């Protein structure tokens, strides 16, 4: 690692009802990958928004390349060489790759945009990054991983000296993550300073040099990555020890009734002849590689996507589910992996989101009973330990983990007996994960039944009573938790049905 390029000292920032940053420190060196970690709501994103000029700090100092600075917008930060690669990609799907990279600062030939030069310059960036992407391709035709690489190329095009990666691997495959890490290592070798925000502990140990931990808006400490353990980091993040032990036996009685039976479900190429049963009080894990058809199976079951054939039985009775409305009427709730697209309305309040699926219960004639609505919402805010100043807070202002709790509250208010949790802890921190796990176990003890789709092997082994494995749209196996190992799951996840 080289000399210090960036120092943030005593950064303080408050919003109405929230002390978001409480005298936070951060130091970044040239040629360093520096992890910034903390639970959802710890203040990581707020700190980066202060750095890049989105928010104005209340107090504290930012020193960059030896000079005290304060950026008033992202453009000023970019001009100085500080660029952020966001978790939620900011690309325009209908434009080409080259047009996206140089959007807002296009090359001109007279009064006309010089597309050929943008294509040439984009190609140079890709060659520098050792990645194979066609600058003339339409952005929407690329995979999420390739779009992420375009974001990185765009950052480099700003002559970046500091790049902030915000949850860069959240939607990437293992191969794409490996490619990303190779690029980051190349950037480090070029003496750039890199801030890496992630909740994935295993990544932190592989790619970073130092780790700064935040908790509840405050600075906890900085560790040298190779000298600390995963448990050290978790303990600093949450202020307590969290044990990630796999489940060794099912918590479901052998005679527990079957609440959901799916027979020969078909829905396009990604759902082919899928059959399974779900018992009362059970967590049925769905495992498999990306593209295995797990989410497509859940969406077909829920009526969100059309099925071509197959039968669904609830409590022994055959039912017809052609739409999500049908599924909800039959007591099924679905927590989508894409909560912002399908689970919540971010510009509405916690109360409005929590009661969205049950609005008829809060109507008095043509009027909404606001008092009843707020009372129910506050009950679930307390039960789920949702961090918010009030039930009136807009969901957009909550951290990812707390947004997930609002989606869960929506289906608990509806009192669904069957819950589909699709990637329930994606993009949320280890502390919030633990709270979600406790909640799921509590729900099953109360008699709810859960289908849990997860790409995290540790999560599947920790939470499931039984595991269904899929590959290329087919069910390739079913494993009781007593016999489940990573090797057994991967064996079935990488081969066709036998």
* Whether 318 and 400 share a structural domain: yes
Does residue 262 share a domain with residue 207?
no
Residue 247 lies in a domain: no
Q: Compute CA distances 427 → 78, 239, 388, 422, whole Å.
A: 26, 20, 19, 12
- The set of residues, in sequence order, having a beta carbon less than 8 Å from that of 95 and lying 6+ positions away, is 103, 138, 139
In the Cβ-directed half-sphere of 32, how many Cα atoms lie within 13 Å? 21
* Whether residue 305 is found in the same domain as residue 450: yes
The C-alpha torsion from 253 through 255 and 259 to 263, rounded to 10°, is 110
Domain assignment present for 435 = yes
Euclidean distance between CA atoms 131 and 75, whole angstroms: 26
Distance CA 329, CA 327 (A): 5
Per-residue model confidence (pLDDT) at position 242: 60
Give the CATH number of the domain where residue 38 resides: 3.40.50.300
Tokens of 260: 């959901």
- Asked whether residue 312 falls in the same domain as residue 455, the answer is yes
User: Where a domain ends, among 181, 209, 238?
Assistant: 238
Domain membership of residue 123 as a residue range: 4-238
Buried b (16+ CB within 10 A) or exposed e, 282-304: bbbbbbbbeebbbbbbbbbbbbb
| CA atoms of 3 and 440, how far apart (whole Å) | 47
Alpha-carbon gap, residue 464 to 249, rounded angstroms: 9
User: Do residues 461 and 389 both lie within one domain?
Assistant: yes
Q: Within its chain, how far is the Cα of 60 from the centroid?
A: 31
The total number of structural domains in the chain stands at 2
Supply the pLDDT for residue 241. 60
| Per-residue pLDDT at 497 | 43
Within 10 Å of residue 227's Cβ, how many Cβ atoms? Answer: 8
Q: Which helix (H) or strand (E) holds 312?
A: strand 309-314
Among 186, 208, 238, residue at a domain's last position: 238
- Residue 120: inside a domain: yes
In a domain, 498, yes or no: no
Same domain, 176 and 265: no
Tell me whether residue 252 is in a domain. Answer: no
Of the candidates 191, 192, 168, 164, the residue with the CA atom closest to the CA atom of residue 178: 168
386 and 264 co-located in one domain: yes
Residues 206 and 339 both lie in one domain: no
Q: Is residue 430 part of a domain?
A: yes
295 and 413 assigned to the same domain:
yes
Q: From first to last of the 498 residues of the chain, give the pLDDT tens digit.
A: 789 999 999 999 998 777 889 999 999 999 999 999 987 678 898 999 999 999 999 999 999 999 999 999 988 998 999 998 876 566 787 889 899 888 888 888 888 888 899 999 999 888 887 888 899 999 888 877 788 788 888 888 888 899 999 888 766 767 778 888 988 998 999 999 999 998 777 789 899 999 999 988 999 999 999 999 888 887 888 776 665 678 889 999 989 999 999 999 999 888 999 999 999 999 999 998 767 899 999 999 999 999 999 999 999 999 999 999 999 999 999 988 776 676 788 889 999 999 988 888 888 888 888 888 899 999 989 888 888 889 999 998 887 778 888 988 888 888 889 999 998 887 677 777 888 898 899 999 999 999 999 988 888 999 999 999 998 899 999 999 999 988 888 888 876 544
Q: Find the Cα–Cα–Cα–Cα dihedral 299, 302, 303, 306, rounded to 10°.
A: 40
Same structural domain, 44 and 128: yes
Closest CA to 128 of 171, 159, 100: 159
Is 374 in the same domain as 465?
A: yes
422 in a domain, yes or no? yes
From 188, 206, 238, give the residue that closes a domain.
Answer: 238
Which alpha helices (DSSP H) does 239-321 contain, by range?
Answer: 294-302
Nearest 5 degrees, angle CA 14-CA 49-CA 223? 90
Output 246-249 pairs: Cβ under 8 A, ≥24 positions apart: 246/458, 246/461, 246/462, 246/484, 247/461, 247/462, 247/463, 247/464, 247/465, 247/481, 248/481, 248/482, 249/481, 249/482
> In the structure encoding, which two tokens stand for residue 174, read together?
């293992």
Exposure letters 351-378 (e unless 16+ CB within 10 A, then b): bbbbbbbbeeebeeeeeeeeeebbebbb
Do residue 362 and residue 399 come from a single domain? yes
Instruction: Check: pTM over 0.75? Answer yes or no.
Output: no
């Amino acid at each position: 690692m080289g000399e210090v390029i960036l120092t943030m000292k005593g950064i303080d920032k408050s919003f109405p009802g929230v002390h978001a940053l409480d005298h936070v420190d951060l130091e970044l060196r040239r040629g360093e990958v520096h992890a910034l970690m903390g639970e959802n709501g710890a203040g990581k994103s707020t700190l980066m928004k202060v750095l890049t000029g989105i928010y104005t700090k209340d107090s504290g100092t930012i020193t960059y390349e030896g000079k005290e600075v304060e950026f008033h917008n992202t453009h000023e930060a970019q001009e100085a060489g500080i660029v952020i690669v966001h978790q939620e990609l900011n690309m325009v799907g209908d434009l080409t790759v080259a047009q996206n990279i140089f959007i807002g600062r296009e090359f001109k030939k007279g009064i006309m945009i010089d597309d050929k030069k943008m294509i040439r310059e984009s190609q140079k960036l890709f060659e520098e990054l050792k990645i194979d992407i066609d600058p003339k391709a339409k952005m929407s035709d690329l995979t999420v991983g390739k779009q992420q690489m375009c974001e990185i190329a765009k950052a480099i095009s700003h002559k970046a000296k500091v790049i902030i990666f915000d949850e860069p691997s959240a939607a990437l495959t293992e191969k794409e993550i490996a490619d990303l890490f190779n690029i980051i290592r190349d950037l480090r070798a070029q003496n750039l300073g890199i801030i890496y925000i992630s909740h994935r502990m295993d990544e932190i140990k592989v790619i970073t040099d130092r780790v700064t931990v935040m908790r509840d808006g405050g600075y906890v400490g900085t560790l040298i990555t190779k000298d600390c353990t995963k448990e050290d980091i978790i303990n600093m993040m949450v202020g307590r020890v969290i044990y990630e032990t796999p489940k060794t036996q099912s918590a479901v009685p052998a005679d527990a009734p079957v609440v959901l039976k799916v027979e020969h479900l078909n829905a396009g190429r990604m759902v082919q002849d899928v059959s399974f049963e779900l018992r009362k009080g059970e967590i049925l894990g769905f495992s498999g590689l990306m593209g295995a058809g797990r989410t497509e199976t859940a969406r077909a079951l829920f009526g969100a996507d059309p099925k071509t054939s197959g039968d669904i039985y609830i409590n022994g009775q055959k039912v017809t589910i052609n739409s999500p409305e049908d599924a909800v009427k039959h007591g099924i709730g679905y927590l989508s992996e894409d909560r912002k697209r399908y689970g919540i309305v971010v510009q509405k309040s916690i109360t409005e989101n929590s009661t969205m699926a049950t609005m008829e219960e809060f109507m008095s004639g043509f009027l909404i009973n606001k008092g009843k609505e707020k009372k129910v919402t506050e009950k679930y805010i307390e039960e789920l330990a949702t961090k918010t100043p009030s039930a009136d807070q807009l969901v957009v202002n909550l951290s990812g983990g707390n947004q997930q709790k609002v989606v869960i509250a929506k289906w608990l208010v509806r009192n669904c007996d069957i819950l589909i949790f699709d990637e329930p802890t994606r993009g949320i921190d280890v502390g919030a994960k633990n709270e979600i796990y406790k909640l799921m176990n509590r729900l099953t003890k109360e008699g709810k039944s859960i289908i849990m789709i997860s790409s995290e092997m540790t999560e599947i082994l920790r939470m499931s009573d039984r595991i269904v494995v899929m590959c290329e749209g087919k069910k390739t196996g079913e494993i009781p938790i007593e016999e489940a190992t990573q090797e057994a799951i991967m064996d079935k996840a990488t081969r066709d049905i036998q």
